[in-house]
Amino acid sequence: MRVLVTGGSGLVGKNLTDYLSNNNIKGNENNIYHFISSKDCDLTKLEEVDSLFLNHKYDTIIHLAARVGGLYENIKNNSEMYFDNMTINENILECCVKYGVTRGVFCLSSCVFPCNPKSFPMTEDMLHDGQPHYSNKGYAYSKRHMQLRCDLYNSKLNKNYICVSPVNLYGEYDNFNLEQSHIIPGVIHRMYNCKKNDTDFNMFGTGEAERQFLFANDFAKSIIKILLNENIKGGVYNICEDNVNYKIKDVIYNIAKYLEYPLDRIKPDTKSLGDGVMKKTVSGEKFKKTFEDFNFTNIDTGLESTIKWFIDNYPNVRL
């Protein structure tokens, strides 16, 4: 295989590099993985993407690249999230078809699911069953459109394009930027600053909303397992430990434990932009049935590892 990996310098891309290296997958002369970042190719420009595919003769893709952000970044830049991600995904898929890429894994997110589903947990076939939450509708619709195109190409052109939908990701190499990060890296960085400055920690919400979390190394592992399983021809796979939820406030208290930050200085905030959707549980049953021996990293181990990595690498992490 000649595999293009977009988003190679991001959270998942870095963990994917580590997983391939640690398992002697990357570097095999029969399996060439080419990681690119925005420095190598501007995926919003079709001419650059076309040149990339023309020059490297890929037959497989792992498409991770996207413009991403946390709750407040999405609210602030919903239109930009939509247009940038639509452009990136359209360019990638157009060149995949044009240059004969027959197999690929395309990254979605659990946030693209409806905000008011008919039932929980949400299964893969419920992806389009209602509006996504207003806070991230731009990002969500761009990802839904990508999944639809993958499905159509599978049917019309006999492609094997598979979409994977992870729950909230965290781990080593995460983006800890205070304005753009997701829940866990944002909390880690803010609480680290609060401890350093001897100030209270503000939750940015009540902490009652429930979320599922996925250690990025587990996601990297799942991508490769799906990619190399020739029995999987297409479709969508939720990637998560089946039906395991955590209240955000409980995750915050766990982070405080590993940062040695006093719990009585954690304050709820009902004056902020709020909690987002209160629950968006998805089912991991389909993935579990396909990979029965897959073991997910428990959140305590994952948080401890992530926080240690953050402290050891600060201030040279992505801020």
CA 84 to mean position of chain CA atoms: 17
Q: Are 64 and 7 in contact (CB under 8 A)?
A: yes
Candidates 20, 12, 56; CA nearest to 37 is 12
User: Which of the following is catalytic: 33, 58, 82, 139?
Assistant: 139
- Distance separating alpha carbons of residues 77 and 85, to the nearest angstrom: 12
Q: Which residues contact 242 (CB under 8 A, 6 or more apart)?
A: 121, 283, 284, 285, 288
Please report how many Cα atoms fall inside a 13 Å half-sphere around the Cα of residue 10, on the Cβ side.
22
Handedness of CA 77, 82, 88, 89 (dihedral sign): positive
Give, in degrees to the nearest 5, the angle at Cα 13 between 9 and 15: 115
Q: Which amino acid is at 119?
A: S
- Tokens representing 160 are 């094997």
- Tokens representing 226 are 């799906």
Q: 162 pairs with which residues across the strands?
A: 105, 235
User: Sheet holding 2-6: strands in order across?
Assistant: 32-35, 2-6, 60-63, 103-107, 160-166, 235-239
> Is 141 a residue of the active site?
no
What letter would DSSP give residue 145? H
Catalytic residues, by residue number, are 139
